Amino acid sequence: MTLERLGNLLWNPWLLGLFLVTGLYLSVRTGFFQIFRCGVWCRATLGSLGQEEQRGKSGLTRMQAMSTALAATIGTGSIAGVATAIFYGGPGAVFWMWVSALLGMMIGCVEKTLAIRYRTRDRAGRWQGGPMIYMEQGLGNKSLAMLFALCCVASCLGGGNMVQSNSIAAALWSAFGWDRLTVGVVVALLTGLVIVGGVGRIGRVSETLVPCMALLFVGGGLVVLVCRWQALPAAFAQIMAGAFCPQAVLGGGAGYGVAAALRYGVARGVFTNEAGIGTSAIAHAAADTREPAEQGMWGIFEVFVATVVVCSVTALVVLTTGVYSPQQALDAIHSGQVDPQMVGAPLSAAGFSAVFGPFGGIFVSVCLLLFAFTSLLGCSYYGERSLAYLVGEGRGRGVYRLVFLGAIVWGSVADVSAVWQLADIFNGLMALPNLCTLLLLSPQAIGLLKKWLAKTAQDF
């Protein structure tokens, strides 16, 4: 309960409001670029996928940078996190998740633009950067940069990796009865084999796995929704009612509150796309590109895929298959006796099993394996770069990797509710300085966007 109170104190209403205000401010300043200029960012991202691109010595290709960032964002939060948000916040949490994604597109755009604008080279000549660099160089505030880097290391060791390993262990235990500790050890070993190769190997693995796993999960989810198409209108009605009139979901009386829907919807949306937290900007800073604003387009695309597409599929599967009961969820929450099978990955698996039968649990388990594995790769890189900023390049890397892999094992057997609360707390501690920095440096990012649009003969 202590972690829950701390998380609520941090997020509700301070950070929730700051996320929404920052996203709204940037959207208004750019004329809601993410909506009215969607053709521009689609052409700059999807339209460039067929173009041959070679990685230079100075960094990753734009696709590899985006895949590494998506590897961390499209994690088990897209499966387990969305189901958790619905369970604790009600169907209305999905609406606020969409709102956070819509506004988060411009936050992501500004983050990635600034990551390219303010970045440096390491001793090997490779690009490196992120919030700690644009805080130091853009704001001239090294103390704030060190605070962010410290919180990022703590988040990677005590939040992000533990959430991923916990969800995957829970899913495999539910589907096959596999020992959770054994699963954690195997996942840690596989992760270690990749991260020892550095960002280059992480980028190559992510570039291969991320598109495949996203298409696999979305394709399976669409099959479920086609089979349950008659329940879609009722699901959307639940989402809208839960966002503004939660009592209507249960037909009146006591029910979910708007605050709960807002808190879990925005927090889970932020966790799944990381816009505003700043971590994904670390991966984008390694991209071998010359135009900061062009990389910002990939920031918009990243949020769209991670939340609007992937997370929406999970939410609609849960709400259309009848595996979630608002009344039963509330009774369990109020009694303090929440069955692990009622929340997180098992709830999502139950939704797929409603159509696929026993194969549904296997399908979700396979997706979780891919999602968690790639997320751990991205998370490890973020922590390493933040550690390097704090103590110097190469120092403490071996110890960090050992602790990171040990946390994966520990997270596989930890209490799921405590892990999610811990992840929210660390995300909040990173988001607070990052959002304030984005607001202060937004004129520079918007100016770079205007120059890039003028150069490419696009209207702003």
The CA distance from 216 to 330, in Å, is 32
Confidence class for position 439, pLDDT limits 50, 70, 90: very high
pLDDT at 330: 80
pLDDT at 136: 93
Of 210 and 223, the one with more pLDDT: 223
pLDDT at 446: 94
Interval 10-21: pLDDT, tens: 777 778 788 889
The CA distance from 52 to 396, in Å, is 37
pLDDT at 218: 92
Lowest-confidence segment of 66-70, 354-358, 392-396 by average pLDDT: 66-70
Q: What is the mean pLDDT of residues 199-216?
A: 76
The CA distance from 219 to 443, in Å, is 40
Interval 369-404: pLDDT, tens: 787 787 788 888 888 889 989 988 778 888 988 988
Helices (H), 79-129: 80-89, 92-117
pLDDT at 374: 79
Residue 338 CB coordination number (10 Å): 17
pLDDT at 1: 55
287 pairs with which residues across the strands? 60
Lowest-confidence segment of 33-47, 176-190, 247-261 by average pLDDT: 247-261
Residue 87 CB coordination number (10 Å): 23
Q: Say what angle helices 161-176 and 397-411 make with each other, to 10 degrees.
A: 40
Confidence class for position 232, pLDDT limits 50, 70, 90: very high
Confidence class for position 235, pLDDT limits 50, 70, 90: very high
Query: What are the extents of the domains in the chain?
Result: 2-46+59-325+343-453
Q: Is the pLDDT of residue 233 over 90?
A: yes
Cis bond upstream, residue 13 (ω within 30): yes
Q: What is the mean pLDDT of residues 289-305?
A: 88
pLDDT at 72: 62
Going by the DSSP 8-state scheme, the letter that residue 60 receives in this structure is: B
Going by the DSSP 8-state scheme, the letter that residue 31 receives in this structure is: T
Confidence class for position 56, pLDDT limits 50, 70, 90: very low
The CA distance from 381 to 359, in Å, is 34
Q: What is the mean pLDDT of residues 277-284?
A: 87
> Cβ distance 282 to 382 under 8 Å?
yes
Q: Is the pLDDT of residue 460 over 50?
A: no
User: Interior CA angle at 250 toward 248 and 252, to 5°?
Assistant: 60
Is the sign of the CA dihedral 247, 251, 255, 260 positive or negative?
negative
Q: Is the pLDDT of residue 443 over 90?
A: yes
Mean confidence (pLDDT) of the chain: 82
Q: What is the mean pLDDT of residues 250-271?
A: 67
Q: Which two tokens stand for residue 13?
A: 């209403």
CA 356 → CA 129, 138, 169, 443, distances in Å?
44, 52, 21, 50
Q: Is the pLDDT of residue 100 over 50?
A: yes
Place of tokens 């840690």: 188
Lowest-confidence segment of 122-131, 247-256, 334-343 by average pLDDT: 247-256
Is the sign of the CA dihedral 263, 269, 275, 279 positive or negative?
positive
pLDDT at 248: 56
Chain-centroid distance of CA 277 in Å reads 9
Lowest-confidence segment of 132-141, 199-208, 294-303, 357-366 by average pLDDT: 199-208
Confidence class for position 442, pLDDT limits 50, 70, 90: very high
> Dihedral (C-alpha) 197, 203, 208, 212: value to the nearest 10 degrees?
120
Q: Which two tokens stand for residue 199?
A: 């960002």
3-state SS class at 120: strand
Lowest-confidence segment of 200-204, 372-376, 445-449 by average pLDDT: 200-204
Q: Record the pTM.
A: 0.85
Of 215 and 1, the one with more pLDDT: 215
Interval 263-278: pLDDT, tens: 778 777 777 777 888 8
What's 2-46+59-325+343-453's CATH class? mainly alpha
Place of tokens 């109170």: 5
pLDDT at 438: 94
> Cβ distance 171 to 163 under 8 Å?
no
DSSP letter for each residue of 152-165: HHHHIIIIIHHHHH
Going by the DSSP 8-state scheme, the letter that residue 340 receives in this structure is: G
Q: What is the mean pLDDT of residues 333-350?
A: 78
pLDDT at 108: 92
Proportion of the chain above pLDDT 90, given as a percent: 24
Interval 132-179: pLDDT, tens: 999 999 999 999 999 999 988 888 887 677 877 877 787 678 677 888
pLDDT at 229: 92
pLDDT at 55: 47
Q: Is the pLDDT of residue 435 over 70?
A: yes
φ/ψ of residue 318, rounded to 5: -65, -40
